[in-house]
Structure 1
């Protein structure tokens, strides 16, 4: 009986993604990299698609060709050494560009997203004005340029999904009631949600206040679903650090939580009715 290939962990997929992006930024083809490093082109393809775990000397050779500084090389080697572990990938807020790139990379490769949000409209459904106010309010230490860079990144994320992954979003009613950016911004945002909720790849549900306590009260999360043979990943964002979880136990637990949230939330049709009534009240 053939041996099943172990699905790549979040760490290995992150490393593969970064190596692919580094090569593309240098403008080198796989053939050129193979010539420069004596690494077989097929092997390089397997490394870049997380089908193979490179040896440390192979990784160093690639990073040298890509002109990566020693300090960053050491960070990627550390990820490589932990890549066999099926646990969690932790990224501190001190490396925000890297953590955001990691999530965007995973999101761009996912075939489906299960997203629960207790405080914000999901990023893929935000208007530009709402995104700007949320980013500014949630991190007052950001400079105006940093705020704008993140707004642009969020809008670019929305525009680049072709085809768009299936998005099943569940939000707490408080997300709709909190007037982020003022009445005008919030009205435009709810109108956007009503429109997006009718898209074939989007399912939107709201958990009404009268449900009372529910399993999502611990906080927001995203389950990123990938093609068969590749582990799904759970993404949890906090003010101190972001977590990427991919153990079987974590995946079972968060999928159960999402199923329970789906069960207590209003149906997509009733959710649209709720949002429509909110818009009427705002007139």
Structure 2
């Protein structure tokens, strides 16, 4: 049986991202760096794509070529030394796709999360029962083992989370109205949103149907923000593949989109009122069905 390739750690992805940014800011092509450092161009590409962990001497040669100050050099060397440490995720992610595992690694290191969802409750706010209904419902082709791994990972992400990072979540009203699982599952999930939205770490806003057509209708996305001037990463989960966007233009574009969605969304207070109204409606319908 072929051994599953381990997903790169968040630290390795972070190091790769920063090395790529340093090269771009230096105005150097990969060919020029390869010529100056005698590092094979293919090797440099794999390092920048987080497909290979550079040796210390290789990293030092790159930092010399980019003229990186001493303190920054030491920080990046520390990141390299810890880049392959096994995390809680990698110990338990045997059935998770590499890109999803990589996303969770990024999420662990994020200092801020901006999440827009058009169809489902954001993963960090889902109850276990909702997750068990939502994951196979949205991807019926997933094998049972992967569904179980995703549910386990989702609950572990929540258990690891404290008041940091701060979460800004915007959801379409359809997320609240669409029944996922039984009425009891929806009652529990809506109550969870009310409880979580009362906490300081979460800002929850809903875009009402009355807002009409808006850019978020094209699909959900997450913007992961990091400390130490590391560029944000945009994560887009699609049915066939997941995308990570980290170019300055892409990050700016999605931040502008998020700001636009926030501008047309209900305030956090009015969003809580909407969630409460939907919850009351579910309770009435559920009660009638039980009778």
Global fold match (TM > 0.5): yes
Is the Cα–Cα contact under 8 Å of residues 134 and 180 in structure 1 kept in the other structure?
yes
- Counterpart in 1 of 2:251? 251
Which fold has the larger relative contact order, with Cα–Cα distance below 8 Å and residues 6 or more apart in sequence?
A: 1
- Secondary structure at 1:124 match in 2: helix
Matched, 1:161 2:179: no
Name the counterpart of 1:178.
178
Paired residues of 1:9 and 1:246 also in contact (CA < 8 A): no
Residues 96 and 146 in structure 2, CA contact (< 8 A), matched pair in contact too:
no
Say whether the 8 Å CA contact 1:13–1:50 is kept in structure 2: no
- Cα distance in 1 between the residues matched to 2:131 and 2:74: 38
Relative to 1, partners in 2 of residues 1:38 and 1:234: Cα closer, same or farther, differing over 3 Å?
closer
4+ residue segments displaced more than 3 Å: 6-14, 37-40, 42-45
Quickly say closer, same or farther: Cα 1:239–1:194, change in 2 above 3 A. Answer: same
After the TM superposition, which residues 114-193 of structure 1 pair with which residues of structure 2 at under 5 Å, given as runs?
A: 114-193=114-193
Q: 1:237 to 1:12 in 2, by over 3 A?
A: farther
Alpha-carbon offset, residue 144 of structure 1? 2.3
Structure 2 residues without counterparts, runs of 5 or longer: 1-16, 22-45, 61-70, 87-94, 285-291
Equivalent of 1:46 in 63, 70, 76: 76
Shift in Å, 1:157 = 0.5
What residue ranges of structure 1 are gaps of 5+ in the alignment?
1-5, 21-32, 52-61, 67-94
Which position in structure 2 is the counterpart of 1:229?
229
TM-score under structure 2 normalisation?
0.68
Provide TM-score, normalisation by structure 1. Answer: 0.70
Cα RMSD (Å):
3.3
Question: What displacement does 1:262 show?
Answer: 0.4
1:15 counterpart (30, 36, 50): 50
Q: In the TM superposition, what are the counterparts of 1:37-116 in structure 2 within 5 Å?
A: 46-47=76-77, 49=79, 97-116=97-116
Residue 205, structure 1, aligned to residue 205, structure 2: yes
Q: CA deviation digits over 1:93-121, x for unaligned, max 9?
A: xx952111110111110000000000010
Shift, 1:38, TM fit? 12
Look up the SS of the partner of 2:235 in the other structure: strand
